[in-house]
Copies of this chain bind each other. A is one copy, B any other.
Amino acid sequence: MTDTIISSASKEVVIGFERPFVIIGERINPTGRKQLAAEMAAGDYSRVKADALAQVQAGAQMLDVNAGIPMADEPRILAEAVQLVQSLTNAPLSIDSSIVAALEAGLAVYKGKALVNSVTGEEERLEIVLPLVKKYGAAVVAISNDETGISEDPDVRFEVARKIVNRAADYGIHHSDVVVDPLVMPVGALNDAGRAVFRLVRRLREELKVNTTCGASNFSFGLPNRHGLNASFLSMLIGAGMTSAITNPLHLEEMTAVLGADVAMGHDPNCMRWIQKYREPLATGDDPVGGRRGGREGRRRRAPGS
C-alpha cells in the first residue's frame, strides 16, 4: 500500500492504493487555448482564476498549473499563476512545465509539498529535474518515455518507469513520491491500447509499488462520443488500480464514472459521497424540476431493476 502525500499550506491530498481516486484538474494550461495564452502572456489571470474555482467546485482535489506559452517569460508567468491559484483555493498543485527554470520558479513560490509535472526517463531530464524535486521536498510525475521516444511496447514503458524510480531513489526520493504516467495511447490507432495500459498499471502497482496517473482523454482521440468512451475507460483504469488522473473535472460523464468506480472499489464508505451527489431532491422546497408532485411520488426511488 503506497500513499503519495501532496499538500498546500492548509490541505493534504493523498493519492493512494486504498484511497478515493484523485482528479487533478487540467484546465489551467494555455496549450491549444489561444485566448488563455494571450491573456496569461499579457498578465491577465482572470480566466486562470475562473478555471481554478470551477474545477475545485466540480470536484478536482488538485489542480495542474501550466504556463507553456511560446515566446513568453514562462518562469515568471508560472510563478505568478501558482501564487494566484494558491491565494484562491487550498487545493494542492501540480506544477507543470517542460522548462526546468519554470519548474524551479513555480516551486520557489509554492506553499506546501507540490507535485512536479514531470520527469521522463531521458538522462538529461533525470539529472536536472530529480535534484530539484529533492531540493524542494516535492513529489514527481514520471512519464515512461526516454531518448528513444514513447515505445508502443508496454514492457519497454515499464522498464523506463523502473529506471526513473530507481534513479529517484539514488537522489533520496522515495518511490511513494514518484507517480508514474504509463502513457495512454489512442485506441483508434492501437487496438490493444486499453488492455496494454491496464496490465501496465497492475505491474506498476504490484512490482514497483507506485501510484499512477495519466491523461486519460488521449485514449479516445479521433473517435466519436469521446466522453462516453472516456467514462468506460476511466472506470476500468480504476478497476485495474490507477490512483489519479490529470483530466477535466467539468466533464460530467467522466466524473460520474470516477465516483461510481470509487464506490465499486470500496473507496466511498457507505456510498456517502455518491448518495450526497446524486440523491433525488425532496418534493417540496428544493426540487430543481419545479413541478408540483405529491410527497410520496416526489420522494419515490426507482424500483430495483428499473
Contact = CB atoms under 8 A, between A and B. Distances in A.
Interface in A148-196: 187-188, 191-192, 194-195
B278 A257 contact: no
Contacts of A261: 232, 236
A252 to B, nearest CB: 9
Copies in the complex: 2
A270 B26 CA distance: 29
Interface stretch (A48-56, A82-90, A223-231): A223-231
Nearest to A198: B239
A222 B24 CA distance: 31
Contact of A239 (B229, B236, B274): B236
Interface in A248-306: 248, 256-257, 259-261, 263-266, 269-271, 274-275, 277-280, 301-306
Given A191-B270, A194-B266, A260 B233 contact: yes
A200 to B, nearest CB: 13
A239 B231 CA distance: 13
A128 B209 CA distance: 50
Contacts of A304: 32, 217-218, 221-222
A236 B242 CA distance: 12
Contacts of A232: 231, 235, 256-257, 259-261, 263-264
B32 A223 contact: no
Nearest to A256: B228
Nearest to A229: B260
A166 B150 CA distance: 47
A238 interface: yes
A195 B271 CA distance: 14
A264 B226 contact: no
A306 B248 CA distance: 9
B233 A274 contact: no
Given A187-B264, A224-B279, A305 B217 contact: yes
A13 interface: no
A82 B198 CA distance: 41
Contact of A229 (B26, B191, B198, B263): B263
A212 to B, nearest CB: 15
For the complex of A and B, list the 10 residue pairs with the smallest distance between their C-beta atoms, beginning with the closest.
Answer: A232-B260, A194-B264, A225-B278, A236-B239, A235-B235, A224-B278, A232-B235, A228-B256, A239-B239, A229-B260
Interface of A: 26, 32, 187-188, 191-192, 194-195, 198, 215, 217-219, 221-226, 228-229, 231-233, 235-236, 238-240, 248, 256-257, 259-261, 263-266, 269-271, 274-275, 277-280, 301-306
25 contacts: A187-B263, A187-B264, A191-B266, A191-B269, A191-B270, A194-B263, A215-B305, A217-B304, A217-B305, A218-B305, A219-B264, A224-B278, A224-B279, A225-B256, A225-B277, A228-B260, A228-B278, A231-B260, A232-B235, A232-B260, A235-B235, A235-B236, A236-B238, A239-B239, A239-B240
